[in-house]
Every structure is written in C-alpha cells, then in structure tokens.
Chains A and B, each alone.
Chain A
Amino acid sequence: MERTGAVLAALVALAVLGPLVAVAFAAEGPGRLGPADFAAIRFTLLQAALSALFSVLAAIPVARALARRRFAGRRLLVAVMGAPFILPVIVAVLGLLAIFGRAGWLNAAFEALGMGTVSIYGLGGIVLAHVFLNLPLAVRLLLQAWLSVPSERMRLAASLGFSDGDMRRHFERPILCAVLPGALTIIFLICATSFAVALILGGGPRATTVELAIYQAFRFDFDLGRAALLGLVQVLICLAAGLLALGLVRGGEMGFGLDRPARPWPGDGPVARGLDVLSIVGASVFLLLPLLAILLEGLAALPGLPSQVWEAALRSIVVALGSTALTVAMALPIALFAAGGRGRGGVEAVTALSISVSPLVVGTGLFLILFPIVDPVPLALPVTGLVNALVALPFILRALIPAARAAEAGQGRLADALGMTGWTRLRLAILPRLRRPLGFGAGLAAAFSMGDLGVIALFSSPGEATLPMEMYRLMGSYRTDDAEGAAVLLMLLALALFWAFDRGGRVDAVA
C-alpha cells in the first residue's frame, strides 16, 4: 500500500505539473499581452487584495465575539461558518444577487425610501461575494487561535486584572500577528483563482480577472496561445502567493489550550458586550440572509423545474461520486505513505501544489494535451471529475495524514507485535481510526465537485452540462425563477452528499 502511495503521489504531481508544462509550451511570448490583459492582471491583484483585506478585517471582531461569548445558537453559528466550504459558489452568488442585485431586497428597500439603487456588478460586487465566501474561513482561523490560548493564561489575565485594552495588547495582537499574514495570503490566493464569481459579477474591460480572460480567450476566441499565456501569468501570480503563504503560515505563539472559555472574560464590560452583539448579529445577517433569500424564492420553483435541470443534476451527482471515489482512492494510499516514515512530509507539499494552481489553468493544460489526440469535448465530464479530485486532494490529505500518523503511533507497534500485515493490518488496526477524517474529507470532495463551475465551463457542450453550468445558463437567459429553483436543488444535493459521507464516516468510528 505504501509503494502505491508513493507512485500515486508522483502521478498527482505529474497530473498537475503536466498540464502546466503544456501551458508553458503553448504560451505565446509575453509581447502578446495587450492593454486588456494588463488591465485583467491589475484587476485580479486589486480585487484579490481588497477581498482578503475586508474578509480578515471583518473577521477580527466576529472571532473575538465568538471566542468570549456563549449564547444559544453559538454552536449552530460556528457550524454555519463552515457552510461556505461546501456551498456551491454559484448558489452563494445567486443569493447575493437576491439581496444586492438590481431587483434584490436592498434595492427594493432603497426604491421604497426614494433613494437611488446600487449595482452589484463590477469590483464592489466581486469583493462583496469574496468576503461572503471567505469571511467564515478568516473567522475560523482566528477563532481557532483564540481557542488555543491556554485557559491558565486567561485565568492569569483575570487574576492580574487585565482591561479590554490589555487583552487586545497581550492576547489579540500576538494572535493577529501569527494568523493574519497566512490568512491574508490564503484568501488572496483563493480570490485570485476564483472563477465563478468573476464570471457572473465581472466582465467588461473594467472588471475582468485573469481567469475570466483565459475563459474568454478559450471559449469565445479559441485563441489557445493567448489562453496559455494568460494561464502562465496566473500560475506566476499563484506561485508567488503560494510561496508567500508557505513562508507566512505558522502556528500561533500562544500555545495550545483546553478550549475552556474563561469566565468571566478578563476586561469584559458593556462596551465590549455591545460590540460583540453588533458583530455577531451583523455577521449572521450578512451570511444567512442570502441563503434564506434563495430558499424562500427557490423552493416554490423546485417542483416545476425543466427536465434538463434534473438531467444536469443527475450528471453532477455522477461526476461528484466519481470524483470523490478518485479522491479517496488517491488520498488513502498517499496518506499511509506520508505517515509511514520520516522525511515523507514532502508528499503533502507536492500534493498541495494543486491548491496553488488554478483549476482553470489545469483544465486549459489538459485541453492542450488532449486536443491533438482526441476531441476533448466528449471528455468534459471525466476531465471535470479528475480536476475536481486533484483540487480536493490536499484538503482530504490535511485531515487524513495526521490521523494516519496517530493511528500508526497508537496501534502500529501493537499490530507489528501481533504480526498483522497488509490488508488485515489496514482493515483492523488503521482504517477504523481513519473513518472519521476519511468520511469528512470525502464529504468535502463530493460537495466541492457537485458545486464546481470551473473546468466544466471550458469543456462542456450544451448537452453535457452539469447542474452549476445549467444554472449559469438559466441565469444568462434571465430565467431567474428556474435558476433559483436549480440553486436550491444544487445546495440541497451538495449538503446531502457532504452529510451522507461525513455521517458514514462517523458511524462506529473510533475517535
């Protein structure tokens, strides 16, 4: 199994690097980059930087409030903070359109009050959508750091009579110094490679990202050389951000605690309470209202959805299940290999390559490889499944490798002493300890693949659309009711797949 893991890790590296090499070879010289391309590069950097900055700034008071308050529904709110990981991006964007769009609730309220309307399209809308999608990630990163402060240190602060200002100085500032650089870079990377948001809310000379420019060069102009050149630019942007993230992401300096909240929180008072209430209510409304709007407006349209939506849903389920099976089949041997000995941590780094590479660029590379040999269009669904699996792999490995190491450390020697080897060792000693992270990782992979609108946009033909692609077409043809119904279906299917795998991993799992 370990040898298989090493081979698979090498294949994953090849599957990511191969398309990149193809892109590099097909790319035309940098002289082909015109003013519109430079504008796209500038816009990509600007929107990603603003999105990262606002996501993190908004997350600071929310994480602080969640760390120091206990209230009914707190656990639910923290769980909801995880929802955007499994929520299809296109559903989130449609939800935001329902609130902030031309005919959205906000503009309806503005009009009723006799005020002017606002437009969600362009830079503002793209940043808003990215903050919606990444605020929860930033909150979770900061909250995790808050909860890792040893409870003794909180008690010490209470005993020393720390004020709210002292808490900021001696607790929050070190946490922010440790977490913010990494969080900013990761969110920048996510936003720089985000495609669906720019596809729906961007466009035009003033709001085109590099990803969108690749798509346009590919789909509209079929200019593969320019698409490859833009792909190369995107790789360089991601590589720079990825290397920065590797250097900046580090553990907090506060040590690991027992996740026991300090009671009372040092320096607590009416002002702090007021700020916390504002932060929690504000974040809840911002994150929940778009989803609520989609549910309210889409549920009624669900029964009357046209048949092509149901066909697309079936196609998406098949792709998601295939992609998940592939992810698990790659992740398990690679995790066991990485956990099997010293100096194998590099495997994780190699497979993490796919995080810092845009799926659209990998898709472009695969198209370039396949195009001279076969017609890539009929392969749209398998290629989508493969790219989705490659993108999901680092996330599942991140959960799986520590668990595999713990299983080896806990049961490995006993299994060795009992002479357990091969499949028996895996089945009886190791796998029971991996069920929970495997289920969770598979759930993430399935939900991600279900909601993906990236590679499929490059390859698909009208007869082979997945559900997100079909939803995008409905939005493009102004069939808003059907699009909202399809959004509810997509959201429910993504959540159901995540729940089914995650739940399956928990049944009879060893902690």
Chain B
Amino acid sequence: MLSLEDVRLGIGDFTLTLDAEVPEGQRVAVLGTSGSGKSTLLSLLAGFVVPDRGHVRWQGKDITGLPPAERPMSILFQDGNLFPHLTVAQNVGLALRTDLRLDDKESRRVAATLDRVGLGGMGGRRPADLSGGQQGRAALARLLLQDRPVALLDEPFAALDPALRNDMAGLLEALCREHGLTLFLATHDLRDAERLCDRVWLLQEGCVVLDRPVAGLREAVPEALSDWM
C-alpha cells in the first residue's frame, strides 16, 4: 500500500495537497490540464521534492525523506530518458550498475530485457540511431531492470504518434501485468487511462477533485470528467 497522508507541498503560488491510499499493484491515471500538478505529484513520489507537511509511506514505512535512489520508485519522463553518449545497452545497464562494470550474468539480463521490449540486437546502437518509439522502449527496459515495485510515468506517450503510442501502451500494459507494478501515469488523454489503469485521479489546482475506478466511467460520466470524454 502506498499512503499519502495529509501531504502538502507549496511551490510559489501553487500548492499540492493530497490524502490518499493506493493498494499495491493498482494502476492510477493522473489526469489534469497543464499546471494542475501532475508532474509535481510524480516528482514528490519520486523524491525530487520533499513535502512541506505530511508523510509518504510504502507498505507502512515512511519514505518521505528518502533520496530518489533509495525509494521503491522508478520513473520515466516524457523525454530526456537516455544518455546520448551511451549505447542503448549501457543506458539500460545503468539500472544494474551505475559504473557500468557489468559481469556476464548482468549483461545477459540487459540483453534479455532488450529482447523483451522488442529491441533485441539493438544494444550497440546510440539513442540518436533509434526512433522515438524505440527510445521509449529502451527507457522502459531500464525501468524494468531497476526492478522497483512502483513505476511513475510522466506523460510517456506525449511525443509519440498514434501508432507508436498504441504500440508502447500495449507493451506497458503487458509488462505491468507481468511484473505486478503499481503505476502512476500522468496523462492528458483519458484513453491512456482507460487502456492502462484501474483508477483515475483528476487533478485541479493541486487537489484531487475526482477519484474513481476506470471501469464504468463511460456509463456514468462524472461532471468533472465530461470535458475529457
């Protein structure tokens, strides 16, 4: 269980306030317009910012002050996920050893994960030699190898065309099921939420104004979500 207990974070005029619980393995879509606080919420969960008040707990343990690397979270950004001077395999290998001194077993794990995301044989390429979709897959491979139970995805499909978006969403869905990941997906698109998530949070000005299961959303559209349908 991930608990956000009376969390408050102020940045200038903006304030994010949260009080919620998310069971392990649940997938939450965080919807909201630009500036509503989606990315700030993910930054707070990842440990890039520390709340002014309240606690974040994972399985009962207080992780509020833990640095990003010691948290049970891995994160995927909209872009900037790969180091351009490293090969795809090295980028993925960072999940295992940041000094990149991988032994044979670890190198095989990297290759297997690249196979799993459909990048078999591309480990020696540089990110610049990959398409946008392939770059997303490489970042996803690293996220899987980090083997952390909570995945934070900050608009990962925003830069992809519809076909690639579909492709990535399908892969992500399969991987979430395989690994039992707890997922937070920041998105502008309700279709992503419907496809990948069990639950929807609608953020407005830093507050969750709607918290509903995805199932049955179309049958009884909440007032707050009508513009998103």
Q: Taking A170-B86, A254-B84 as contacts, is the C-beta distance between A156 and B69 under 8 angstroms?
A: no
The verdict on B99 contacting chain A, using a C-beta distance below 8 Å, is yes
A152 and B79 contact, CB distance less than 8 A: yes
Tell me which residues across on chain B come within 8 A of A264, comparing CB atoms. 67
Tell me which residues across on chain B come within 8 A of A169, comparing CB atoms. 99-100
Which of B70-78, B172-180, B188-196, B220-228 is near enough to bind chain A? B70-78
Distance between A240 CB and nearest chain B CB, rounded to angstroms: 29
B94 and A160 contact, CB distance less than 8 A: yes
| Bound-complex Cα distance A161 to B85 (A) | 19
Distance between A175 CB and nearest chain B CB, rounded to angstroms: 10
A–B Cβ pairs within 8 angstroms, 5 of them: A150-B80, A155-B46, A156-B75, A160-B146, A174-B84
The verdict on A255 contacting chain B, using a C-beta distance below 8 Å, is yes
A156 and B81 contact, CB distance less than 8 A: yes
B77 and A156 contact, CB distance less than 8 A: yes
The verdict on B59 contacting chain A, using a C-beta distance below 8 Å, is no
Q: Taking A170-B86, A253-B84 as contacts, is the C-beta distance between A161 and B69 under 8 angstroms?
A: yes
Interface residues of B in 183-202 (CB under 8 A from A): none
| Bound-complex Cα distance A253 to B70 (A) | 29
Tell me which residues across on chain A come within 8 A of B86, comparing CB atoms. 170
| Bound-complex Cα distance A174 to B86 (A) | 10
Interface residues of B in 86-116 (CB under 8 A from A): 86, 94-95, 98-100
| Bound-complex Cα distance A152 to B98 (A) | 17
State which of A160, A166, A255 has its C-beta within 8 Å of the C-beta of B84: A255
Interface residues of B in 101-157 (CB under 8 A from A): 146
| Bound-complex Cα distance A177 to B83 (A) | 15
Name which residue of chain B comes closest to A177, CB basis: B85
Interface residues of A in 228-255 (CB under 8 A from B): 253-255
> Which of the four size classes fits the interface of chain A?
20 to 34
The verdict on A158 contacting chain B, using a C-beta distance below 8 Å, is yes
Q: Taking A150-B80, A253-B85, A264-B67 as contacts, is the C-beta distance between A155 and B98 under 8 angstroms?
A: no
A161 and B46 contact, CB distance less than 8 A: no
Tell me which residues across on chain A come within 8 A of B14, comparing CB atoms. none
B83 and A162 contact, CB distance less than 8 A: no
The verdict on B25 contacting chain A, using a C-beta distance below 8 Å, is no
Tell me which residues across on chain A come within 8 A of B54, comparing CB atoms. none
State which of B49, B78, B95 has its C-beta within 8 Å of the C-beta of A160: B95
| Bound-complex Cα distance A263 to B86 (A) | 24
Tell me which residues across on chain B come within 8 A of A307, comparing CB atoms. none
Tell me which residues across on chain A come within 8 A of B67, comparing CB atoms. 158, 161, 264
A158 and B68 contact, CB distance less than 8 A: yes
Q: Taking A150-B80, A165-B99, A264-B67 as contacts, is the C-beta distance between A159 and B74 under 8 angstroms?
A: yes
B68 and A159 contact, CB distance less than 8 A: yes
Tell me which residues across on chain B come within 8 A of A153, comparing CB atoms. 80, 83
Q: Taking A152-B81, A253-B85 as contacts, is the C-beta distance between A158 and B48 under 8 angstroms?
A: yes
The verdict on A163 contacting chain B, using a C-beta distance below 8 Å, is yes
| Bound-complex Cα distance A177 to B94 (A) | 21
Distance between A384 CB and nearest chain B CB, rounded to angstroms: 47
| Bound-complex Cα distance A166 to B86 (A) | 13
Q: Taking A160-B94, A174-B85, A253-B85 as contacts, is the C-beta distance between A152 and B48 under 8 angstroms?
A: no
Interface residues of A in 135-172 (CB under 8 A from B): 150-153, 155-156, 158-163, 165-166, 169-170
Name which residue of chain B comes closest to A252, CB basis: B84
Tell me which residues across on chain B come within 8 A of A253, comparing CB atoms. 84-85
| Bound-complex Cα distance A170 to B80 (A) | 14
Interface residues of B in 29-68 (CB under 8 A from A): 43, 46-49, 67-68
Residues of A that sit less than 8 Å from B by CB: 150-153, 155-156, 158-163, 165-166, 169-170, 174, 177, 253-255, 257, 262-264
Name which residue of chain A comes closest to B126, CB basis: A253
Distance between B97 CB and nearest chain A CB, rounded to angstroms: 10
Name which residue of chain A comes closest to B94, CB basis: A160
State which of B48, B79, B98, B100 has its C-beta within 8 Å of the C-beta of A161: B98
B98 and A263 contact, CB distance less than 8 A: no
Q: Taking A159-B74, A170-B86, A253-B85 as contacts, is the C-beta distance between A152 and B80 under 8 angstroms?
A: yes
State which of A151, A155, A161, A166 has its C-beta within 8 Å of the C-beta of B75: A155
| Bound-complex Cα distance A159 to B75 (A) | 8
| Bound-complex Cα distance A263 to B11 (A) | 14
| Bound-complex Cα distance A161 to B98 (A) | 8
B98 and A166 contact, CB distance less than 8 A: yes
| Bound-complex Cα distance A163 to B46 (A) | 18
A170 and B46 contact, CB distance less than 8 A: no
Known: A153-B83, A159-B46, A161-B69. 10 other contacts (CB 8 A): A155-B77, A156-B75, A156-B77, A158-B68, A158-B69, A161-B98, A163-B99, A166-B98, A174-B83, A174-B85
| Bound-complex Cα distance A229 to B179 (A) | 75
Name which residue of chain A comes closest to B99, CB basis: A166
Name which residue of chain B comes closest to A162, CB basis: B98
Distance between B85 CB and nearest chain A CB, rounded to angstroms: 4
| Bound-complex Cα distance A111 to B30 (A) | 71
Tell me which residues across on chain A come within 8 A of B46, comparing CB atoms. 155, 159
| Bound-complex Cα distance A255 to B79 (A) | 11
Tell me which residues across on chain A come within 8 A of B77, comparing CB atoms. 152, 155-156
| Bound-complex Cα distance A315 to B168 (A) | 70
A255 and B85 contact, CB distance less than 8 A: no
State which of B49, B73, B80, B84 has its C-beta within 8 Å of the C-beta of A156: B80
Distance between B208 CB and nearest chain A CB, rounded to angstroms: 23
Tell me which residues across on chain A come within 8 A of B69, comparing CB atoms. 158-162
Name which residue of chain B comes closest to A163, CB basis: B98
Q: Taking A155-B48, A174-B85 as contacts, is the C-beta distance between A160 and B98 under 8 angstroms?
A: yes
| Bound-complex Cα distance A385 to B15 (A) | 57
Name which residue of chain B comes closest to A258, CB basis: B80
Distance between B166 CB and nearest chain A CB, rounded to angstroms: 24
Tell me which residues across on chain A come within 8 A of B99, comparing CB atoms. 163, 165-166, 169
| Bound-complex Cα distance A262 to B77 (A) | 15
| Bound-complex Cα distance A301 to B8 (A) | 60
Tell me which residues across on chain A come within 8 A of B98, comparing CB atoms. 160-163, 166, 170
| Bound-complex Cα distance A253 to B78 (A) | 19
| Bound-complex Cα distance A161 to B86 (A) | 17
| Bound-complex Cα distance A262 to B80 (A) | 14
Most buried by B among A151, A170, A177: A170
Most buried by A among B68, B73, B78: B68
| Bound-complex Cα distance A150 to B218 (A) | 39
